[in-house]
Amino acid sequence: MTAPQSIAELSRAIRAKERTAVEVVRTTLDRIEAIDPDLGCFHETYPERSLESAAETDRRIGRGESPGPLAGVPIAIKDNIVTGFGRTTCGSRILEHYESPYTATAVERLLDAGAIVIGKTRCDEFAMGSSGENSAFGPTRNPCDPSRVPGGSSSGSAAAVAAGLVPGALGSETGGSIRQPAALCGVVGVKPSYGRVSRWGLVAFGSSLDQVGPFGSCVHDAALLLGVMAGPDRRDSTSSPRDVPDYPGAIEEPVDGLRLGVPRQYLQDDNDPAVNDAVRSAVEVYRDLGAEIVEIDLPLTEYGIATYYVISAAEASANLARYDGVRYGRRAEPAPGEDLYDMYARSRAEGFGDEVQRRIMLGTYVLSAGYHEAFYHRALQVRRLISNEYDQAFEKCHALLGPTSPCTAFPLGQKSDPLQMYLCDLYTINTNIAGICGISIPCGHAEVNGAKLPIGLQIQCKAFDEVTMFRIARLYERTT
């Protein structure tokens, strides 16, 4: 794998006329054509549109106009974020031919900043998965070892950045779908605080958990992308009205009296030993830099999986009810004597994959009469307790350190048991439940059968404290 120029370097070179945007886009498309058939990162690309946009960028620069901070930079978009061009399938047969009439706010802001959307990346169907194997259009493979998974559900976006196909990409998170594949592929992935980035145009999975976030090859690139996307949006009532700091401009500043917490629940014996060793080494790097390391107790960590799969499945059941084969999406061929209900049922059975059906059924169950109080209402109560637990932790430290994933990338097809797959998100899920921010950065490798498999360090900070999160991440990146 050959890492591309950073986003900042590439944009500067284009603005300075050292490279043309057309040249950059052509090189990107050629690289995708040569490498992606073996990886499956992209669902589709937009050669004509990309080259036209690049030519317009070059013309604007030639006229002396400001082309924006992302001028000419190729960006990939996860296939559950809508664009007014191309298709948005969410990795599902039920939306196989869907073309959106509008573009998501996060993508609009990238385009306004001069970025060029090169294509849509594969993802687990409706963002439900932790391996990149659940897309109806085939799995994505890890560039570090194509026999292994890249993580999920933002599998294509993470793998595309790791393979050097694009310098940056967008993903989405409901329970770890940016940070976990970032860790397994060896790139930087950011889950912003809930409300920091507009969800307008993100196809809903779990509405109280979902967030759009960036992938980059370095902390500065991720900070730059988030700074462009973040901010209030009148079309999304859950977006925060808070001002957006200058993330890339602030990341080199120190954090005074840095105190870092290490939850005792995060370095378990069940983790891959290489993961624990890499994280402990990263903690020592911070200690050597003068940070105070404190032990933190997060006893509700083990309840995160159960809480998440009740809340997210319930919200998925409601959100995915709109796919009925009538208004849009796949419709089953009519059968003799079939009524409307039968047509709904067959359309959904043919259009949704096994994992999506599993979660819809679970969500419908926990919302049903007689079970709502026992499951869904109780999960909401635990959610509040988890959030309170984080609040108490952040009174003692600036950030929490730990592994992003308990394991490195595993072979394709190895985790056929859904529960084993769900446990891959053990350390990321509670970040979404509490609505705080988190980042995964590379912190080492595990040698497995001659392959170097990346390991991710997770840094969590309190809600809307992305500046501190980026500074702490950059401190490690700069030092190592």
Specify the range with the lowest mean pLDDT, choosing from 173-187, 326-340, 341-355, 403-417: 326-340
Tokens of 61: 């620069």
Residues in a beta bridge with 440? 189, 458
Tens of pLDDT along 21-70?
999 999 999 999 999 999 999 999 999 999 999 999 999 999 999 999 99
Query: Residue 174: is its pLDDT beyond 70?
Result: yes
- Per-residue model confidence (pLDDT) at position 3: 46
Tens of pLDDT along 273-329?
999 999 999 999 999 999 999 999 999 999 999 999 999 999 999 999 999 888 878
Side chain identity at residue 259, one-letter code: R
- Per-residue model confidence (pLDDT) at position 4: 55
Peptide bond preceding 153 in cis form (omega within 30 of 0):
yes
Q: What CATH number labels 7-250?
A: 3.90.1300.10
- Per-residue model confidence (pLDDT) at position 2: 44
Query: Residue 1: is its pLDDT beyond 50?
Result: no
Spacing of C-alpha 241 from chain mean position: 23
Percentage of the chain beyond pLDDT 70 is: 99
Q: Residue ranges per domain, the chain?
A: 7-250
Question: What is the rounded average pLDDT of the residues 350-377?
Answer: 94
Residues in a beta bridge with 437? 461
Tell me the catalytic residues. Answer: 78, 153, 177
Q: Is 194 helix (H, G, I), strand (E, B) or coil?
A: coil
CA atoms of 266 and 87, how far apart (whole Å): 40
* Torsion angle (degrees, nearest 10) of CA 217, 221, 225, 227: 150
- Per-residue model confidence (pLDDT) at position 183: 98
Q: Is 83 helix (H, G, I), strand (E, B) or coil?
A: coil
- Per-residue model confidence (pLDDT) at position 334: 80
What's the whole-number average pLDDT of the chain?
Answer: 96
Query: Residue 449: is its pLDDT beyond 90?
Result: no
Query: Could you tell me which of 2, 30, 121, 16 has the C-alpha nearest to residue 72?
Result: 16
CB contact at 8 A, 260 and 397:
yes
- Per-residue model confidence (pLDDT) at position 179: 98
How, if at all, do strands 188-191 and 399-403 pair?
unpaired
Specify the range with the lowest mean pLDDT, choosing from 54-68, 225-239, 318-332, 436-450: 318-332
- Per-residue model confidence (pLDDT) at position 12: 95
Longest dimension (CA), the chain: 75
Tokens of 163: 């393979």
Tens of pLDDT along 201-224?
999 999 999 999 999 999 999 999
